[in-house]
Structure formats: C-alpha cells, structure tokens
Amino acid sequence: MGKGRTIAYWVTTVLVALPMLFGGVADLLHVDDALEVIERLGYPAYVLTILGFWKVGAGITLLVPGLPRLKEWAYAGIVFDVTGAAWSHMAVDDPASDVISPLVILVLTAVSWRLRPASRTL
C-alpha cells in the first residue's frame, strides 16, 4: 500500500470514527442536544442508548488493529446509522445541512472501506 493511500485511509477512517465515538458517547449520556434531536425525529429517548452503544463500538473497531470481520460489521452499521439519520432528518423537513452531514460521513465511510489495507480486510 502506497504512502498516499495509507494517509488517505487513516484520514477518512479517523473522520468516520471520531463522530461515531463522540456522537455515541453523547447518545449514551443522553446529553440535551442528542435528546432534542432524537425527540424531534420522533424516536423515544431510549433509542439513544442503543445507538450510542453501537456507535462507540463501531468507532473503536475501526481504529484498533485486526478484527477484519468485526470491521466489516462496523462499516455496515455505520452505513445503516448515517443513511437512517439522513432519511429521518429529511422525513421531518429538517434543514438540508442536517440531511447532508450524515451523507458526508457515508461517503467518508465508503472511501475508508475501499482504502483499507489487506490486514483489515477479510
């Protein structure tokens, strides 16, 4: 794997993992902003605990070495999370920025997945 590809992989991976980690912790702690968003979207507050647990797990999984099968699940879970978020924001007529930001994470996720080194693939 070339140096440029390795750098691009880590940049995109960190740009995916950090929002998952920080967002997941905010969800687990039921911070006010997370509660406001989840309620505006029409979901019960307990959904934050479920999403938070899986977001934190996905963020950690992408960053640690090994675990190629678990990484595939983490990437898939992130795709489900961000597409669900975009759709949910669209469904309640939230501003375009609330729809676009999860889609940006979707693109970064796809790039990270595509650039992952052989040691992180099945």
Contact 81, 54 (CB under 8 A): yes
Phi/psi of residue 52, each to 5°? -60, -45
User: CA-CA distance, 107 to 52, in Å (whole number)?
Assistant: 21
The residue ranges of every structural domain in the chain are 3-120
Place of tokens 């992952």: 116
pLDDT of residue 1: 72
pLDDT of residue 19: 97
pLDDT of residue 122: 78
pLDDT of residue 26: 98
Per-residue model confidence as pLDDT tens digits over 54-107: 999 999 999 999 999 999 999 999 999 999 999 999 999 999 999 999 999 999
* Sign, Cα dihedral of 84, 108, 72, 57: negative
Longest dimension (CA), the chain: 46
pTM score over 0.95: no
